Amino acid sequence: MKTIKILLLLITPLLFFACSEDTMDEINKERNNALEMSATSMLPDAILKTAFQTAGADMAWYTSVYVELNAGSWNQMFSADRRINQDAASTFNNSWNQLYDVMNICRDILDKTAPDGEEPDNQIARGIAQVLMAYNLEVATSMWGEVPYSEALKGAENLKPTYDRQSNLYTVIQQSLDDAITTLNQVTSVNLAEDLIYGGTKDAWIKAAYSLKARYHMRLSQRNTGASADALAALANGFSGASDEFLFDEWEATLTGENPWYQFLFDRTHHSTSQSLYDLMSVRNDPRISAYFTLVGGSIVPCPNGAAIESQGTIYSQSLITTNGRTAPTPIMTYHELLFIKAEAEFRTGAGTWQATLQQAVEESFTYHSVAGGTNYFTTEVVPRLTAGNELNEILTQKYIAFYEHESIEAYNDYRRTGIPSMTNPNNATVGFVNRLPYPVSEVSSNPDNVPTINIFSDKVWFAGGDEKL
């Protein structure tokens, strides 16, 4: 009996110790940094990063200077305007890594919601991820040309993926949008707080997918003779009004929650009012001038593109849109853009309705910027310029003006596709126009065998008429 008591005394503390260890392991779990998340819980991260990093930050700021919606008058944007170090591998390293970060999130959502995944019934999250994947992939290829995709997004399984031809990627992008439409048609709309754009409304996402399809069909106008007809077929199911627009409208009036353009202006003040844009608007007596630009000493003082006196917001006018836009929405695609695409496509296909569509596009742009007088402006300033041979130039010039300034990525893409409107920066002639972004140091150093050799000033991307580098 004495021996049994001794054994019990020895064993009992061990039992208690084991129980305590298990309990402590459970207590010490990091619940704010979960190793696994549901597909729905990943959506806010994917959406926010798409709006902030892809649509609203570095790539938009730089391209606004390249395409002269803004002039660069200080530091990084001054260098962009002068074409200094624009081919440096470090310039867009963050943008590249951020794009692949958000695409990795989309890939995780798609894996989880696949038929053999953990959440095969979560089709609303899947459809949204398919739209976001298409959008972010298209920004990547439109900015760089050939980029990794078919062998990418696999983590440690493949750290040196090969690059895909842009011509193939546009097929992938369109297929992703088609898949999204099919997926979303299978579900019912739900109230989804994690969907920071449409709140889980499937029909809104379907319209966004069709609208993006129209944009990307028109992107290939130099490569596909049927691009305009394809765009018209897609946009028939796209946005039906401004309430359908693909916008992120959740910014907050806080230092960490405000619109990224506003942050950039008030933290750095690198942009000034573009002389090129101002002149286009001034010669047209455009009422939007008063809504676009700030005053300096009681008048608008444009900054000469490529020839600024370096100044941090003291000499030249700046964007009034951004100055007043701390919580302004970030457009991923607007209704007026869709109408401009429709007007161009109708004109290219000989449809007699193109001028009425153009008028609607211009009027919607005025409404978007809360400016009155769109109809009168169209009648007195636009119609007289729609002379034989100048129609397409005026359609695309009006689209360009409407894009100021938060839609600069699309203005950059349109200019590379069409050469409209004419640019005035003298450094385009002496150094070169930036036709594509330089591959980032993260790829040049870690995946050098697969990175294409390019000259950003002379090598156009495929959709703009260039040769593929693979």
Q: How far apart are CA 116 and CA 98, in angstroms?
A: 28
DSSP code, position 54: I
Q: How far apart are CA 210 and CA 134, in angstroms?
A: 12
Q: Is 358 part of any domain? A: yes
The Cβ of residue 353 has, within 10 Å, a number of other Cβ atoms equal to 12
DSSP per-residue string spanning 245-307:
-EEE----SSTTTS-HHHHHHHHT--EEEBHHHHHHHHHTT-TTHHHHB--BTTB--PBPTT-
pLDDT at 190: 85
Judge whether 65 and 72 are in contact, CB under 8 Å. Answer: yes
pLDDT at 450: 98
DSSP per-residue string spanning 348-386:
HHT-TTHHHHHHHHHHHHHHHTT-S-HHHHIIIIIGGG-
pTM of the model: 0.93
Q: What is the pLDDT of residues 254-278, one digit of tens each?
A: 999 999 999 999 999 999 999 999 9
Q: Is 362 part of any domain? A: yes
pLDDT at 18: 45
Maximum Cα–Cα distance for the chain, whole Å?
Answer: 113
Judge whether 205 and 57 are in contact, CB under 8 Å. Answer: no
Q: Which residues of the chain have pLDDT under 50?
A: 1-19
Q: How far apart are CA 370 and CA 385, in angstroms?
A: 24
Q: Is 24 part of any domain? A: no
CA torsion sign for 33, 39, 44, 49 is: positive
Q: Which two tokens stand for residue 411?
A: 């203005």
Domain carrying residue 428: 40-255+328-435
CA torsion sign for 244, 250, 251, 256 is: negative
Q: Count up the domains in the chain and report the number.
A: 1
Q: Is 313 part of any domain? A: no
pLDDT at 188: 85
Q: How far apart are CA 138 and CA 145, in angstroms?
A: 10
Q: Is 84 part of any domain? A: yes
Pairing status of strand 330-333 against strand 271-273: unpaired
Instruction: Select from 277, 309, 216, 284 the least CA-distant residue to 404.
Output: 277
Q: How far apart are CA 72 and CA 304, in angstroms?
A: 9
Q: Is 271 part of any domain? A: no
Q: How far apart are CA 321 and CA 329, in angstroms?
A: 11
Helices 202-219/408-418 angle, 10° precision: 30
H/E element, 341:
helix 335-349
CATH number of the domain that residue 84 is part of: 1.25.40.390
Burial of 98 (0-12, 13-18, 19+ CB in 10 A): buried
Query: Checking phi first, is residue 329 left (phi over 0); if not, alpha (psi -120 to 50) or beta?
Result: beta
Q: Is 139 part of any domain? A: yes
Q: Is 440 part of any domain? A: no
pLDDT at 13: 44
Q: How far apart are CA 143 and CA 41, in angstroms?
A: 29
Q: How far apart are CA 306 and CA 234, in angstroms?
A: 39
